[in-house]
Amino acid sequence: MRNDSVGLVLTLALCLILMSCGTSTRNQRMPIPDVPPSSPETSSPPTSTAVSLPQRANIDFSGLRLLEIIFKTQLNVTRIDDLYATTRREISNLSVVSNCNLDVLKGFVATSWAPVVLLVPPTGGRHLWAVIGYDDATKQILLGNPVTRVTRSLVYADFEKEWQTGSARKCVLVTPGKLSEERVHSTLGKYLPSAQVAQVGVRSR
């Protein structure tokens, strides 16, 4: 009987020891190894904000009143740069923008600035037009005359041919206030890559 009691006590003591060891193991936290901060060479580059043009944009004729003086008096110009001098008395804020491409014109239209271009159609002659819309789905650009309200649509390829021959990748902007090159670049930067925007030149008065 005494041996049974001793065995029972030993068994209980052993159980208590085992339970104590199990509890301490469960409550024990694994140490967190020290990780050195990542260097600039190994860290992931920050995600840049994507910039892109809207697929289509339009400007209503009611927003083109500042251009009316050009289309009333300057239809016979042979160089778009001539508008800088010939409209000095009538127009306060005019900018000649160089190194343009079709995306730059789209960026202006998306901003509700209607760029004026000089085109030479296959039939000959030189004609000023305001770019008032585009649609990437149909690949067409919409041109307008703010005075007569006449419009003309051209597919992108035909427009670029007439524009290259006419005003050689230049356009004119007429705005309520004077445009600096920095402001033009900042505006285009909402839609176009910075490397492309940096090529655009602006001469304003």
Q: Is the pLDDT of residue 59 over 80?
A: yes
Longest distance between any two alpha carbons in the chain, whole Å: 128
pTM of the model: 0.75
Q: What is the mean pLDDT of residues 183-191?
A: 97
pLDDT at 45: 41
Q: What is the pLDDT of residue 25?
A: 41
Asked if pLDDT for residue 34 goes beyond 70, the answer is: no
Using CA atoms of 90, 105, 205, 165 in order, give the dihedral in degrees to the nearest 10: -80
Question: Which pLDDT tens digit goes with each residue over 132-184?
Answer: 999 999 999 999 999 999 999 999 999 999 999 999 999 999 999 999 999 99
Give 74-114 pLDDT, tens digit per residue. Answer: 888 999 999 999 999 999 999 999 999 999 999 999 999 99
- Which pLDDT belongs to residue 75? 80
| pLDDT score of 9 more than 90 | no
Average pLDDT over residues 184-205: 96
10-24, 27-41, 81-95, 137-151: range with lowest mean pLDDT? 27-41
Domains of the chain and CATH, by start: 56-204 (3.90.70)
